[in-house]
């Protein structure tokens, strides 16, 4: 029988992942509040509201070999993050643990916002997490809930995700704005397709019997300053820089993400640096041919 993948919060990353897994012979179920958005994807749609999911009801979610929890908060507010991450994940784990055949592994899509480093420190999976924001704090709580759970689980900390439809930085540069040279703020990025590729890769590793770690930091291979990324984009877009974006009064986190652990699993990045990734976004988006 085909292995079943249940993707909770089947949005952009989930749909792209689901299509890839379908091509690889998996049975894919996508769960989201608005299941109509999955029409035409080939993914079996399931309407689920995590706010009302009964964690004591074993029938609330279908049985699956692997679960990918890739939920997005509906707004940047503490209450929304609380519901989407620790509360929602705990409800899903409560349901899945009751199944006669529990999942082989649960993957939680987290974020590098759990790190609070501000001085350009190199961070990896063993680095301390001392977030100053509610978003990072609640992500940490959700991560720990999975790591401590009886079901096997793996946390994936993705850095700044960009790709099709995620072009905020390109639009800022197209308006002639770039980040200041100082203070030095490092940018850690990963293309949407590498997020998908890493999840699919780790599912395959687990399926093949390879031991997985409970945590992976997933970022591309070149931490770089935000100023460098934006000035490079300006060159590609043939845009004259007319404005320098001022840093916020309260300095943002600034760290350099080390992706050694995920590379040691054998994963090869489709877009090793922002250059390859943004070239693809620029080309597919036609940014050189029309005004952004």
171: three-class secondary structure by DSSP: helix
Note the pLDDT tens digit of each residue in 34-49.
999 999 999 999 999 9
Question: Could you report how far apart the first and last alpha carbons of the chain are, in Å?
Answer: 47
Tens of pLDDT along the chain (292 residues) come to: 799 999 999 999 999 999 999 999 999 999 999 999 999 999 999 999 999 999 999 999 999 999 999 999 999 999 999 999 999 999 999 999 999 999 999 999 999 999 999 889 999 999 999 888 899 999 999 999 999 999 999 999 999 999 998 988 999 999 999 998 988 899 999 999 999 999 999 999 999 999 999 999 999 999 999 999 999 999 999 999 888 876 554 446 789 999 999 999 999 999 999 999 999 999 888 775 444 4
234: three-class secondary structure by DSSP: helix
Neighbouring CB atoms inside 10 A of 143's CB total: 24
pTM of the model: 0.94
21: which DSSP letter?
A: H
Element (H, E) at 25: none
Characterize 199-225 residue by residue with b for buried, 16 or more Cβ atoms within 10 angstroms of its Cβ, and e for exposed: bbbbbebbeeeeebeebbbbbbebbbb
On whether the CB atoms of residues 209 and 276 are closer than 8 A, the answer is: no
On whether the CB atoms of residues 274 and 224 are closer than 8 A, the answer is: yes
Note the pLDDT tens digit of each residue in 201-257.
999 999 999 999 999 999 999 999 999 999 999 999 999 988 887 655 444 678 999
Whole-angstrom distance, CA of residue 3 vs CA of residue 65: 6
CA torsion sign for 170, 171, 172, 175 is positive
Length of the chain: 292
Q: Which of 131, 51, 128 is nearest to 92 (CA)?
A: 51
Whole-angstrom distance, CA of residue 88 vs CA of residue 61: 13
Whether domain 4-166+189-222+255-271 has CATH 3.40.50.720: the reply is yes
Whole-angstrom distance, CA of residue 219 vs CA of residue 74: 24
Output the average pLDDT for the chain: 93
């Amino acid at each position: 029988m085909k292995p079943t993948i249940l993707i909770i919060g089947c949005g952009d990353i989930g749909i792209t992942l689901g299509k890839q897994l379908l091509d690889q012979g998996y049975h894919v179920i996508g769960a989201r509040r608005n299941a109509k958005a999955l029409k035409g994807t080939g993914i079996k749609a399931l309407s689920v509201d995590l706010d009302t999911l009964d964690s004591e009801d074993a029938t609330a979610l279908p049985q699956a070999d692997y679960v990918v929890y890739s939920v997005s908060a509906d707004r940047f507010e503490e209450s929304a993050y609380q519901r989407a991450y620790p509360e929602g994940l705990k409800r899903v784990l409560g349901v899945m643990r009751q199944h006669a055949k529990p999942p082989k592994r649960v993957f939680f899509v987290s974020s590098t916002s759990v790190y609070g480093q501000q001085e350009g420190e190199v961070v990896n999976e063993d680095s301390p997490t001392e977030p100053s924001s509610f978003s990072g704090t609640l992500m940490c709580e959700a991560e720990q809930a999975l790591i401590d759970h009886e079901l096997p689980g793996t946390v994936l900390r993705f850095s700044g995700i960009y790709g099709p439809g995620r072009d905020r930085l390109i639009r800022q540069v197209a308006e002639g704005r770039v980040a200041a040279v100082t203070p030095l703020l490092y940018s850690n990025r990963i293309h949407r397709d590498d997020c998908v590729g890493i999840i699919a890769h780790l599912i395959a590793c687990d399926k093949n019997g390879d031991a997985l770690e409970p945590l992976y930091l997933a970022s591309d291979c070149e931490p770089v300053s935000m100023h460098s990324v934006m000035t490079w984009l300006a060159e590609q877009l043939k845009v004259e820089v007319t404005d320098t974006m001022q840093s916020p009064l309260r300095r943002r986190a600034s760290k350099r993400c080390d992706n050694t652990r995920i590379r040691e699993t054998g994963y090869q990045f489709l877009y090793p640096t922002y250059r390859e990734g943004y070239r693809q976004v620029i080309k597919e988006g036609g940014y050189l041919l029309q005004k952004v």
